[in-house]
Amino acid sequence: MPPAIYKTAEARARFSELLARAKAGEEILIAKGDEPQARLLPPAKAAGRESAPLSHLGLPDDLFDADDAEQAAIDAGDYNDALGIWRGRPAAS
């Protein structure tokens, strides 16, 4: 299907409508006189992401199960985030 062609003045007046039509999949050509100036195209489809991007690393299932003394201090409010200084002591293991 050939693109719809609009003169610049008409495209300016109907810009919101033309954007909506381009988003819906239509190609629109904007011309000044007989010379093409711009083209409105439908947005590119986003590529799908891998559902588990780290699964190929074979990380152990219990990686985050161990107690983390630093995280416990953060949760208890004993961590100064502005300075990055951990004021508490590690929990006895």
How sure is the predictor about 75, in pLDDT bands with cuts at 50, 70 and 90? confident
pLDDT top residue among 38 and 64? 38
Question: DSSP of 36-64, one letter per residue?
Answer: EEEEE-PPPPPPPPPS-TTGGG---TTTT
pTM (global) more than 0.95: no
How sure is the predictor about 7, in pLDDT bands with cuts at 50, 70 and 90? very high
Q: Domains of the chain: which residue ranges?
A: 4-40, 65-93
Q: Hey, what CATH topology would domain 4-40 get?
A: YefM-like fold (3.40.1620)
Residues in a beta bridge with 31: 7, 36
pLDDT (0 to 100) of residue 82: 58
Per-residue pLDDT tens for 8-40? 999 999 999 999 999 999 999 999 998 999 999
